[in-house]
């Protein structure tokens, strides 16, 4: 490559898919799967890794070793991630929450503690939070997260039933009782807050949701933030629904939620204010839909049929490139027509060689 940029390093394979390290000189903006995403609020998404050890039957992002739609996995260079974060955080007028949310499991990032520490030190940051299903947690991991300055864990816990958990998560070793015990340790022995976020899978875990919520309230989740949120199951275009769960409408979901609120005697819906969340300025969208841009393919793409590219004009961005018929090659330059630019996440269709 002659772009002054190091190319992504193929550092191994994960479940037979290439695993790339995106180096320091790569942009950390523009890609849905890794880097930083600015959705125009003071909550900035930080995605250091795509890897996940679980195989949740309902996973919206088809993560884990049994993924069928993914083509490659990535993790980002720490400095590149922090630079992208700084770029986004610097335009915000309100203080920022850095939310490590990922299309995988944030705790698989080898530099997770350094990442949290650095995010926490950023002058525009008021809080750092991490979303997890909890499999990689241990007391030692929790202590290190605390030491690094983590403010909150959003814990996705959907059942206490071990057999059901095995079926839902496709991971023999996952023990919900162990995760619950660790979460309780975190609430009681550290200053990290706990926000419990079970996913309602209608007909599969109705009673489990109630049990999880009652447990979360009992152990003192929500020291500073709301204690619980029930997530609505959605069928995603690139996700999976191995158990054929029925997707309910938003109005059915809210009706069910209201009933549940009355039953357990606690609120389950929160507004942006209660989360300290506000709409805010955002970094500029660089490319319009329909615009032609030059881009170089730097690695295989995240999903089948895709390539990962870097744009060649002005400030570089990561871009997902799609070529429908013929093959495209890593290291070659192409002209792409922008088909998606929402929240500065760019997708382009290759229309010719550059
Ligand atoms: C994709 S996961 C990534 C973070 C982490 N691996 C986890 O599961 O917490 C983010 C959140 O999406 C939720 N989720 C997964 N599949 C979903 C689906 N089909 N509909 C709605 N939420 C989903 C998970 O329960 C989790 O809370
Ligand atoms: S829901 Fe989270 S833990 Fe489960 S497979 Fe998807 S990314 Fe992994």
ipTM of this predicted structure = 0.99
CA angle (82, 41, 191) in 5-degree steps: 65
In the chain, ranges of CATH 3.20.20.70 domains: 9-275
Q: What is the pLDDT of residue 134?
A: 96
Q: Mean pLDDT in the chain? A: 96
In the chain, ranges of CATH 2.40.50 domains: 292-353
Distance 312 CA to ligand 2 centre (A): 34
Q: What is the pLDDT of residue 129?
A: 98
Is the distance from CB of 63 to CB of 11 less than 8 angstroms?
Answer: no
**CATH number for domain 9-275, candidates 3.40.50.2000, 3.30.70.100, 1.10.1580.10, 3.20.20.70:** 3.20.20.70
The residue whose CA has the least distance to atom 12 of ligand 1 is 60
pLDDT in tens, 117-155: 999 999 999 999 999 999 999 999 999 999 999 999 999
Distance 50 CA to ligand 2 centre (A): 10
Q: What is the pLDDT of residue 198?
A: 98
Is the distance from CB of 61 to CB of 239 less than 8 angstroms?
Answer: yes
The yes/no answer on whether domain 292-353 falls in CATH 2.40.50 is yes
* Helix H or strand E encompassing 219: helix 206-219
Whole-prediction pTM? 0.96
Distance 103 CA to ligand 2 centre (A): 8
Percent of the chain surpassing pLDDT 70: 99
Q: What is the pLDDT of residue 313?
A: 85
Is the distance from CB of 88 to CB of 116 less than 8 angstroms?
Answer: no
Q: What is the pLDDT of residue 325?
A: 74
Number of the ligand closest to the Cα of 247: 1
Q: What is the pLDDT of residue 298?
A: 95
Residues with CB under 6 A from ligand 2: 52, 54-56, 59, 61, 63-64, 104-105, 133
Distance 63 CA to ligand 2 centre (A): 6
The residue whose CA has the least distance to atom 24 of ligand 1 is 156
| Statement: residue 37 has pLDDT above 90 | yes
Ligand 2 atom having least distance to the Cα of 61: 6
| Statement: residue 327 has pLDDT above 80 | no
pLDDT in tens, 89-116: 999 999 999 999 999 999 999 999 999 9
Pocket test for ligand 2, best of 14, 50, 54 (most atoms within 8 A of CB): 54
pLDDT grade, residue 314 (50/70/90)?
Answer: confident
The 10 Å Cβ neighbour count of residue 189 is 12
As a whole number of angstroms, the distance between CA 327 and CA 321 comes to 12
Read off the pLDDT of each residue in 34-44 and give the average, rounded to a whole number.
Answer: 98
- Both structure tokens of 208: 């489990």
């Amino acid at each position: 490559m002659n772009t002054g940029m190091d190319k992504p390093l193929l550092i191994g394979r994960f479940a037979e898919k290439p695993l790339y390290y995106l180096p320091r000189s790569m942009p950390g903006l523009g890609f849905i799967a890794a880097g930083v995403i600015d959705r125009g609020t003071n909550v900035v998404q930080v995605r250091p890794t795509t890897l996940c050890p679980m195989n949740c039957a309902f996973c919206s992002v088809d993560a884990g070793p049994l993924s069928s739609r993914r083509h490659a996995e990535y993790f980002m260079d720490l400095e590149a991630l922090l630079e992208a974060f700084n770029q986004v955080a610097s335009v915000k007028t309100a203080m920022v929450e850095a939310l490590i949310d990922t299309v995988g499991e944030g705790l698989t990032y080898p530099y997770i503690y350094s990442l949290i520490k650095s995010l926490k030190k950023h002058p525009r940051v008021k809080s750092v939070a991490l979303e997890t299903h909890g499999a990689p947690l241990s007391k030692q991991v929790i202590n290190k997260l605390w030491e690094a300055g983590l403010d909150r864990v959003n814990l996705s816990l959907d059942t206490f039933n071990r057999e059901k958990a095995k079926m839902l998560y496709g991971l023999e070793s996952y023990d919900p009782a162990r995760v619950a015990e660790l979460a309780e340790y975190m609430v009681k022995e550290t200053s990290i807050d706990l926000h419990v976020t079970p996913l309602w899978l209608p007909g599969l875990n109705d009673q489990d949701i109630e049990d999880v919520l009652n447990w979360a309230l009992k152990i003192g989740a929500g020291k500073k933030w709301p204690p619980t949120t029930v997530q609505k199951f959605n069928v995603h275009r690139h996700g999976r629904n191995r158990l054929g769960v029925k997707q309910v409408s938003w109005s059915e979901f809210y009706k069910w939620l209201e009933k549940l609120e009355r039953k357990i005697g606690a609120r389950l819906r929160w507004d942006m204010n209660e989360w300290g969340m506000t709409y805010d300025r955002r970094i500029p969208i660089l490319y319009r839909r329909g615009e032609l841009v030059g881009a170089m393919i730097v690695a295989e793409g995240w999903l089948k049929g895709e390539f990962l590219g870097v744009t060649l004009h002005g400030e570089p961005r990561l871009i997902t490139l799609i070529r429908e018929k013929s093959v495209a090659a890593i290291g070659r330059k192409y002209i792409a027509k922008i088909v998606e630019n929402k929240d500065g996440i760019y997708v382009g269709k290759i229309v010719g060689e550059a």
